[in-house]
Structure 1
Amino acid sequence: MEAGPLPLAAAPAESLREDSPKGSRRSLSLPGGRVVTGLVLPLGLALLWEGAVRAGLAQGRLVPPPSRVIATLWGLAASGELWTHVLASLTRVAAGFGFGAVAGIAVGALTGTLPLARRLVDPSLQALRAIPSIAWVPLFILWFGIFEASKITLIAVGVFFPVYLGVAGAIAGVDRKLVEVGRVFRLSRLDLARRILLPAVLPATLVALRTGLGLGFMFVAAAELLGASEGLGYLLLDGQQLGKPDQIVAAILAFAALGKLCDAVLVGLTQPLARWQDTARDTL
């Protein structure tokens, strides 16, 4: 008797994956297509402003045209001054992000899994989260001085709270049925955390890390504006004191480029951890 076709459930997984919209969209996308698309809006606005200044429709005194900003960036890069400020800011953000992220994950996991710790610690952390970042500066300078320790601590505080909230909220939002299924299969606590809790909280944790990294750049700017001899924040303050709007805009663009690059690196490093997800974003 001739065998009939295999049912859909028995079809090879690889063939189904190739026919899925996710696979077809990946095969049709060109390398760097998203980067080019993302540059359309800022480049279009820059060209419009450049054209308005050259046509005499705007003075470009307070908001300099892109040609002047690019010339300023080129001069700073050629002299090596730009790279000195970029390295200083990047080092502070990396250190502050590392300390803040580790502390946020640890405390978030603690309060998310232990009800007593949540009732004891979370109210105080929520109150501290409402304190403006600038209010910490006098206290940190008093404790740690005006050097790197106070700046890194301020950045770590800025990174800590979004990471803490993301991890604690993700653990608290795990579906109870998933935990009950693990207990039905008599998983140990370690296996329950590794096979159920960790995959459930990982996507929200990665988003919280990206949010914390963005706040890290905001806090490094605040720290460097209040007292530093190097860094992009210092470059902003120097441009303001000397009346150089082109230097201010150049520093802002350097902040934007550096922040986007660091975010892309973070996404690239963490994306394999959530590759198992099959989300609606991949089909839109």
Structure 2
Amino acid sequence: MSLSATDVLARPEEATGTRPRPARRRRLPDLRRWISPLALLALWQVASSTGVLSPDQLSSPWTVLQAGIETARSGELGEAFAVSIVRVGLGFAFGAGVALVLGVVAGLSRWGGVLIDPPVQMLRTLPFLGLIPLFILWFGIGEEPKIVLVALGVAFPLYLNIYSGIRNVDDHLVEATTALGYTRWERLVHVVLPSAVPQTLVGLRQALGVAWLALIVGETVNADAGLGYLINNAREFLRTDVIVVGLIVYAALGLVTDALVRLIERRALRWRGN
């Protein structure tokens, strides 16, 4: 038996738009994802206990845990953590600001894209290690080279996603705003920029990941404080346990910042329904 258009239109819940939404089930964390990490951790401990891995090559998980507690109690880890956070914060603020301005200008203006996009595409292929000697000559051996490295690491992926998000706005939406009589400013505020938000948030996640990689490069090559300095100093004394502690802190900071962006993404994109 088929339904006519009048039958469909006669349904009150559809006519009034009050159809009840299905209740969302709260997702529980999938504990199966912990199986392989815990298995690798156990294998690491067994290899260290049986002598397969010597302490000079890689300390055991238990030794790493003790080293973490020791450096935390002495204040060495906290001081290094604070210095690295400040560097990433300053570099991120500067790089994100530049990426936002360049991405919006290049995305909205044809001439902006012609003039801005080619040099950005050329600069983003330059390796971090190759830039460090030049930055030292320009800025000295202080904080500036490290902050600039982080800023570059943040700017390029964020710029690419902002630029692409603006350029890939659905043409049908733009045509609809024209038919509705939107001004150029209203079209920009209500359609173009909101449509670019999902890809911009993807770029933000990428940018934060690259920011920590850039910081590691800057701090291990030329630094007298920070997590990279802590790792470099531990390498001089063959303290693989402290090296692993520093790497774990780097990884944890990357995961935390990524989780924060994912939280922002879920709140900002609630209209998508997932």
Task: Give me the CA root mean square deviation.
Answer: 1.9
Query: CA 1:85/1:9 → structure 2, altered by over 3 Å: closer, same or farther?
Result: farther
2-structure distance, mates of 1:56, 1:152: 42
**Distance in 2, Cα, partners of 1:179 & 1:11:** 26
5+ residue gaps in structure 2? 1-9
CA–CA distance in structure 2, aligned partners of residues 200 and 37 of structure 1: 35
CA distance in 2, matches of 1:94, 1:45: 33
Question: Which residue is 1:166 aligned to?
Answer: 161
- How far apart are the structure 2 equivalents of 1:58 and 1:243? 14
TM-score, length-scaled by structure 2:
0.90
Cα offset for 1:58?
Answer: 4.2
2:205 is matched with 210
Indicate the SS of the match to 2:113: helix
For 1:276, what is the secondary structure of its paired residue? helix
Point out where structure 1 has 5 or more consecutive residues left out of the alignment.
none
Could you tell me how far apart the structure 2 residues matched to 1:270 and 1:111 are? 24
CA contact 2:158–2:203 (8 Å) conserved in 1: yes
Match of 1:64 among 51, 59, 63: 59
Question: How far 1:268 moved relative to its partner?
Answer: 2.6
Are 2:11 and 1:16 equivalent residues in the alignment? no
Task: Find the counterpart in structure 2 of residue 118 from structure 1.
Answer: 113
Given that 2:41 and 2:61 are in contact with CA atoms closer than 8 Å, whether structure 1 keeps it comes out as: yes
Deviations 1:37-60 (A, max 9, x none): 554432331122112332445445
Identity percentage of aligned residues: 34
State the partner residue of 2:185: 190
Distance change (3 Å), C-alpha of 1:178 and 1:146? same
The code of the aligned residue for 1:16 comes to: R
Aligned partner of residue 127 in structure 1, secondary structure: helix
Of 125, 130, 138, 2:125 maps to 130
Deviation per CA, 1:120-140, whole angstroms, max 9, x where unpaired?
121111111111111221222
Match of 1:238 among 228, 233, 237: 233
Take 2:92 and 2:214, find their aligned partners in 1: how far apart are those partners? 11
How far is the alpha carbon of 1:253 from its aligned partner?
0.6
Paired residue total: 265
SS in 2 for 1:147: coil
Contact 2:56 2:238 in 1 (8 A): no
Q: CA deviation at 1:163?
A: 0.5
| CA distance in 2 between partners of 1:89 and 1:41 (Å) | 30
Q: Which residue of structure 1 lines up, in the alignment, with residue 138 of structure 2?
A: 143
Pairing partner for 1:73 from 68, 75, 80? 68
Q: Does 1:6 align with 2:1?
A: no
Q: CA deviation at 1:5?
A: 5.9
The structure 1 segments of at least 4 consecutive aligned residues displaced by more than 3 Å after TM superposition are 7-11, 36-41, 55-61
- 1:5 to 1:202, Cα distance in 2 relative to 1, 3 A: closer
**Amino acid in structure 1 at the alignment position of 2:62:** S
